[in-house]
Amino acid sequence: MTAAHPTLTAVAAAAEEAGLRLRGALACAPDDQVPPQPDGRASRTLVLLGNLGGSLWPDFAAGPEFADGGPDPMNRWSARVVGSLAERFRGLALFPFGGPPYHPFLRWAQKAEGLRPSPLGMLIHPVYGLWHAYRGALALGEALALPDEPPPAHPCEACAEKPCLSACPVDAFSESGYDVPACTDHLRAAAGADCLTGGCLARRACPVGREHVYAPPQAAFHMRAFLTAQSIPQSTPQPTPQPSGTEP
């Protein structure tokens, strides 16, 4: 196994101090669509940052964005924290929000961490299950030596019952896709209070990583942010709703 490059180790430590976790890295290839450095040089390494379980919540909840009443507080917090890390390590800060166009974070994540989609469409982590997300990335001009690790086993392959597909009260998730209108209508109704305050019931039904389920304050925050995003007029460009690792 190749040891991590000292810069990668330093990025991981600095990110953790700020409330984020290193979520894998990849050597940039032309088809990865990683933008060049501000000085025009090609980006050589992409480092993904995000949360594992509720790891970011204490730092985010203590940050100014959480309580200032402005829009998109977690996106603004992420922009500040990842932007600061980019300055420190002389890289380019990239985010899963702010488009269109949108950077292919889920494709980057699959390449960097070897994760695969669950039946709900969300990328599933072998330890944290569906309770993780990507908040940003650092594109670096230096080619870093990356750990050589085999991809993790896909938890869903050994799950015969797939309770995630039968737990939604309005059957918003199925093998044919995600019914966003059914989901949002349910969340706006009194019957959707459990999902709105405690998090998606289908997501909570997954047996993988249950000990890492978001605490109620964080779960309610993300559900409200998702519902708010779906209330924005359609004339405003929005990404396709998919709570698959880049939640608001």
Give 43-68 pLDDT, tens digit per residue.
999 999 999 999 999 999 999 999 99
- Three-point CA angle 35, 238, 110, nearest 5°: 50
Distance CA 85, CA 22 (A): 12
| pLDDT the model gives residue 147 | 87
52 and 172 co-located in one domain: no
65 in any annotated domain: yes
Number of folded domains in the chain? 2
Q: What are the φ/ψ torsions at residue 77 (nearest 5 degrees)?
A: -65, -45
Q: Which H or E run contains 116?
A: strand 116-117
**Rounded to 10 degrees, what is the CA torsion of 202, 209, 19, 152?**
-110
148 in any annotated domain: no
| pLDDT the model gives residue 235 | 37
118 in any annotated domain: yes
| pLDDT the model gives residue 244 | 44
Residue spans of the chain under pLDDT 50 = 1, 233-244
245 in any annotated domain: no
pTM exceeds 0.85: yes
- Among 247, 245, 244, which Cα is nearest to 229's? 247
126 in any annotated domain: yes
Distance CA 23, CA 60 (A): 18
146 in any annotated domain: no
120 and 197 co-located in one domain: no
36 in any annotated domain: yes
235 in any annotated domain: no
48 and 128 co-located in one domain: yes
Q: Which domain holds residue 130?
A: 6-140
Asked which of 87, 116, 140 is the last residue of a domain, the reply is: 140
